[in-house]
Chains A and B, each alone.
Chain A
Amino acid sequence: MSLDLSEALQTFYAESRGLLQEMEESLLRLESAPADTESINAVFRAAHTIKGSSGLFGLDDIVAFTHKAENVLDRVRNNELPLNEELIGLLLGCRDHIERLVDIASDNAEMDSDTRVQGEALAARLSQCMGESAATLPVETGSPLESVGGGQMAGDVWHISLRFGQDVLKDGMDPLSFIRYLATLGEIRHLTTLTDALPDAAGMDPECCYLGFEISLNSDADKARIESVFEFVRDDCQLRILAPGSRAADFINLITALPEDKSRLGEMLVACGAVTQRELDESLAAQECESARQKNVQPLGEILVKRQIVQPELVDAALIKQKEVRLRQSQEARYIRVHADKLDELINLVGELVIASAGAGLLAQRQGDGAMQEATALMSRLVDEIRDGALRLRMVPIGETFSRFQRVVRDVSKELGKDIELVITGAETELDKSVVEKIGDPLTHLVRNSMDHGIESAEVRAASGKPVKGKLRLNAYHDSGSIVIEVGDDGGGLNKDRILKKAIERGIVGPNQNLSDREIYNLIFEAGFSTADQVSNLSGRGVGMDVVRRNIEALRGMVELDSTPGEGTTVRIRLPLTLAIIDGFLVGVGDAAYVVPLEMVLECVELSDADRQALTQRAYINLRGEVLPFVRLHDHFEVAGKGSRRENIVVVQYGGRKAGLVVDRLMGEFQTVIKPLGKMFSRVKGISGSTILGTGEVALILDVQALIQQAAERERAAA
């Protein structure tokens, strides 16, 4: 296989997956609105495109199977087959199967027997759908364009409107002979002779032709063929050939199925055979002529309809298609597919650039060269912008991840026999692509958990006066430098007493420990904890919530849970927006520098002498009437030597909690490229990574979350 083809194949796989995703969304939409023709068309288009493209690459398995699905979809589209829940289920199954086939093709693997059996089963159900009436369906030809000219559709009545020029008789041509010839193309169902143009007796030239004809022709011929009948009088007559009513529907289908290289209305109509090239040329000429005379140009579509060349519905369909194509084209122009590795490489380089520019800035400052400092300042500003831009490249809206759950919710609620609706908000919230990729699994777990344990069965809900339909919410928003993802349900809420009892049983908490509601709820994230009375195959085996927490913590995030008995539970995941570069706030403790993520810094205040005196007795200060626990970094990191005489408190906030970090020096903002710490340091609490300063020194990045927790614990212990 040549390189080009394999690249094209990759594009095909990517596009197919996109189309399958679209197909799934449309099918799910159809479940609630079965009459939504837009969605039906979208599903059909997706199947059709995949079939066409896979044919191009010789992926016969995909072609064969998709073809069967497409046939059924075609019948649905033509309202020959009612779209019920069962059929949607079948089509979803087909979609999954196509996805598997695409995966198999992209892995260069052979189809295993399971997949084959599954495919055959689906195919059998599909042909069942086609039923007895399948025999009467038009035989699918390779190209939809052929089906018009191919002649399987007997009984199409064309409408031909004919006005001969006055001179045809003198030119030796008899309109009758043309009509006779026309009759050889099919059966003239009806012919009306029009005499409106016949002048009064005195004015009538017997050698002129005044007659007009309206002809209904039952013919399988296509438009161009019919037009050719009148070839010899083409210049001497007005000819309008209007497609049969059934053809109009075909044309509309053809227009929607047209390849997207035709973006002009006229081209589109000619390509599908609704308008002949000649008609188009004439109409365009008329348009030009018109526009020469007056300023406002009549659109081609209007001209075509006015000249009775096509039905208005056809022009509408073509216009809609045109709009779609333009939209697609403009979207294509706006997006380029870039390999993720290239992006990562770019981000790495930008990281290095940030460090290098900090170094250059520092040197310039030391040398005291004004011009040099100015130059480096300008450079660092540009580097800032490059950094932001590069990071933005990796930001993707979370909506894509969310919408995948439509399917999960549908399938799981079927499995559980519960009626559950998924409500998505904040889908446009952006976060780093690498985070999006890793958040899928924990989210799936939480969603399943909510559906299984959170939302009660319909009977219980009805008994407690709730709407029978359960509601699952997925929400996302930005909050102080992190993204918050919420999974909420309107179920029964957590049973506090049972959790506490279990936790004491398992020895996770001591029997006399005094815990807040929130702390009790969050116990379910502890390892080996499960309160489900029954273990289902979805969740409840006690592995899960702790895995969720581990996964999220690996992303430098945190997870917490809120629950109100009888009203529901909300799990809140808090994640950093990006994993690579942050704005940091540089502080000094002893000789070393530390970085606090700038988004978490609320304010800096000087530690008053009075508070310093009290340091030994209590680990909190009075910040404008608020109790603020703090951590003295000097003590925490066991830095040798006495702290500076004037210490400062950096007030930080995370996850709705505030704490103070007592530091020796405030050193200002600093762009921080996060470098992971080695495995050796994974156990060190309060440090989340490292970075390199302009001087080449290493600064540690503080794990504010862990520090706040520590501060809070110390406060509690002291209390």
Chain B
Amino acid sequence: MEIRSERHEACLRLYPSGEMTIYSAAELKPALLHALGQSDEIEIDLGDISEIDTSGVQLLMLMKREAAVAGKALKLAGHSPAVLEVFELLGLGNWFGDPQLLPADAGKTRRVA
């Protein structure tokens, strides 16, 4: 699985898209870990995640932890409604410590530039 990435100065921004589920987890893990090796500051944009399950959450948690261990900064941003729903269910907002934006209306996410 290819993850689109963009570099903004020191920050590497990743744009995974589609499902973050058990079906893609095996591909996603090395891709994400690889990206972690590329930069000291990483932002994962979750705006295009259409579905996320436990394995996806787990991977994000792994990333966060690995980043912390390596002394890097990892931010999650632009949570899609699917991600928000799961984060809310599992009470993970605080765990990741990223600002989450509640959807203004169903299906759409307002982004702050």
Residues of A within 8 A of B (CB): 164, 169-170, 174-176, 179-180, 183, 188, 190-193, 195, 198, 200-201, 204, 206-207, 209-211, 213
Q: Tell me whether B26 is interfacial, beta carbon within 8 Å.
A: yes
A176-B90, A206-B59 known; 5 new pairs, CB 8 Å cut-off, are: A174-B22, A176-B53, A183-B89, A201-B62, A206-B55
- A206 and B29: CB pair below 8 A? yes
B65 touches A (CB below 8 Å) = yes
> Distance (Å) between the CB of A134 and the closest chain B CB?
39
Give the distance in Å from the alpha carbon of A191 to the alpha carbon of B22 in the complex. Answer: 22
- For B29, give the chain A residue with the smallest CB separation: A206
Is the CB–CB distance between A193 and B26 below 8 Å? no
Whether A180 contacts B89 by the Cβ 8 Å rule is yes
Q: Please tell me if the beta carbons of B91 and A211 are within 8 angstroms of each other in the complex.
A: no
Option from B22, B25, B62, B90 in Cβ contact (under 8 Å) with A179: B90
From B25, B28, B29, B95, A193 is in contact (CB under 8 Å) with B95
* Residue-wise interface mask of B (32-71) relative to A, using a CB-CB cutoff of 8 A (1 in contact, 0 not): 0100000000000000000001110111011001100000
B55, A193: Cβ atoms closer than 8 Å: no
* B58→A211 contact, CB < 8 A: yes
Given the known A-B contacts A180-B89, A183-B89, A190-B91, are A209 and B54 also in contact in the complex, defined by CB atoms under 8 Å? yes
In the bound complex, do residue B58 and residue A198 qualify as a contact, i.e. CB atoms below 8 Å apart?
Answer: yes
Given A174-B53, A175-B54, A198-B58, check contact A191 B90 (CB 8 Å): yes
Q: Which residues of A contact B3 (CB under 8 A)?
A: none
B86 located at the interface, meaning its Cβ lies under 8 Å from any Cβ of chain A in the complex: yes
Question: Interface range on chain B: under 10, 10 to 19, 20 to 34, or 35 or more?
Answer: 20 to 34
Once the chains bind, are A206 and B54 in contact (CB under 8 Å)? Answer: no
Q: How far is the CB of A497 from chain B (nearest CB, A)?
A: 91
Q: Is the CB of A176 within 8 A of B61?
A: no
Contacts of B61 in A (CB 8 A): 193, 195, 198, 211
Number of A-B residue pairs at CB separation under 8 A: 65
A211 touches B54 (CB 8 A): yes
B28, B58, B66: which has the most chain A beta carbons within 10 Å?
B58
Residue of A nearest to B23 (CB): A207
- Best-buried of B25, B55, B62 by chain A (most CB within 10 Å): B55
Check A176 against B86 for contact (C-beta < 8 Å).
Answer: yes
- Evaluate contact between A201 and B33: CB separation under 8 angstroms: yes
Q: Which chain A residues lie closer than 8 Å to B90 at the CB level?
A: 176, 179, 191, 193, 213
Residues on B with C-beta less than 8 A from A193 are: 57, 61, 90-92, 95
Q: List 5 A-B contacts (CB under 8 A).
A: A169-B25, A174-B53, A180-B89, A204-B29, A213-B90
CA distance A207 to B95 in the complex (A): 22
In-complex Cβ contact of A201 among B22, B26, B55, B66 (8 A): B66
A-B pairs, 8 with minimum CB distance: A206-B25, A206-B29, A191-B91, A174-B53, A169-B22, A193-B90, A175-B54, A201-B66
Separation of A193 and B54 alpha carbons in the complex (Å): 11
Q: How far is the CA of A472 from the CA of B32 in the complex (A)?
A: 89
Chain A residues with Cβ below 8 Å from B54 are 164, 169, 174-176, 209, 211
Assess whether B89 is in contact with A179, with CB atoms less than 8 Å apart: yes
Please report the C-alpha to C-alpha distance between residue A210 and residue B59 in the assembled complex, in whole angstroms. Answer: 10
Q: How far is the CA of A369 from the CA of B42 in the complex (A)?
A: 120
Q: Please determine whether A209 and B89 come into contact, CB atoms closer than 8 angstroms.
A: no
Contacts of B53 in A (CB 8 A): 169, 174, 176
Task: Write out the residue numbers on chain B whose beta carbons fall within 8 Å of the beta carbon of A207.
Answer: 22, 25-26, 55
Q: Which residues of B contact A191 (CB under 8 A)?
A: 89-91
Contacts of B89 in A (CB 8 A): 176, 179-180, 183, 188, 191
Within the complex, the shortest CB–CB distance from A217 to chain B, in Å, comes to 13
How far is B88's CA from A120's CA once the two chains are assembled, in angstroms? 57
Within 8 A of A (CB), among B59-113: 59, 61-62, 65-66, 86, 89-92, 95
